[in-house]
Amino acid sequence: MMKVKGRCHCGAIEYEATVDPEKVTVCHCSDCQVLTGSAYRATVPVPKEALTLRGGPPKIYVKTAESGTKRAHAFCSQCGSPIYSAAVDDPQTYSLRVGCLEQRRELRPTKQMWCRSALPWAMKLEDLPRSERQWASP
């Protein structure tokens, strides 16, 4: 188990949790692509009793999955950073967004799901040119 700390971009919401780093998952579903504005979403589950939220309450958006299941997606109402998703009624587990955690470098995904929706290029980034910072403008 691992103690983690997270926050939204503006700092209005902060949290601490104890997670199992062996349960980090990448989801390639089209909903995660749209909700993140990226190719996939990385999450780590945390039991309700192992999560402490501080600061303002997150804004909640309820999404209906392909299966019909409803999920509450929490994000900062000021900066829009995604914080977690959970069951709508009486959540027992929260899926924390790895990108908002201070320890994100140590939370390597152990599995991928919804690969049928994966963007083909998202699986092949190792050969692209790299830069330590933003590319210089021409």
pLDDT given for residue 138 in this prediction: 65
18 touches 46 (CB < 8 A): yes
The predicted pLDDT at position 125 comes to 80
With respect to residue 44, please indicate whether it lies within any of the assigned structural domains.
yes
Residue 34 lies in a domain: yes
Q: What is the mean pLDDT of residues 78-86?
A: 95
Q: Could you tell me if residue 126 is inside a domain?
A: no
- Report residue 44's pLDDT band, with 50, 70 and 90 as the boundaries: very high
Enclosing H/E stretch for 74: strand 70-75
Asked whether the predicted pLDDT for residue 15 surpasses 90, the reply is yes
Looking up residue 30, the CATH number of its domain turns out to be 2.170.150.70
Can you tell me the distance from the alpha carbon of 31 to that of 5, in angstroms, rounded to the nearest whole number?
A: 26
- For 23, 55, 68, 115, the CA distances from 7, given in Å and listed in that order, are 20, 10, 30, 28
| 13 falls within a domain | yes
Q: Number of structural domains, the chain? A: 1
- Over residues 64-74, the pLDDT tens digits come to 987 888 999 99
pLDDT tops 90 at residue 122? no
